[in-house]
Amino acid sequence: MRRVLKGGQGSPSTVSLIIVYTLASALKISPLEIYQMPASLVLDLLTTHSVFEEIKAEEMEKLKKK
């Protein structure tokens, strides 16, 4: 799982588990709710979360440089 989190490839079940964990944590909802969502919504939410995390990291980096 660590390898997958660092950008490596993993089994579909491991990737699915990571996606469910990430969204459930970010949205503060039950993992069961993620499983009930359409796959397209899950991917859209994951993409949105990723963009917000990138922006947050960029802003934190700007603050460190000051």
9 pLDDT band (50/70/90 cuts)? confident
Instruction: State residue 10's pLDDT score.
Output: 81
pLDDT one-digit tens code per residue, 25-65: 999 999 999 999 999 999 999 999 999 999 999 999 999 98
The CA distance from 57 to 48, in Å, is 14
- Cα separation, 19 vs 6, in Å, equals 14
Checking if the pLDDT of 22 tops 80, the result is yes
Instruction: Name the strand (E) or helix (H) holding 24.
Output: helix 12-27
| Per-residue pLDDT at 17 | 92
Q: Alpha-carbon distance 24 to 15, whole Å? A: 14
Q: What is the pTM of this model?
A: 0.77
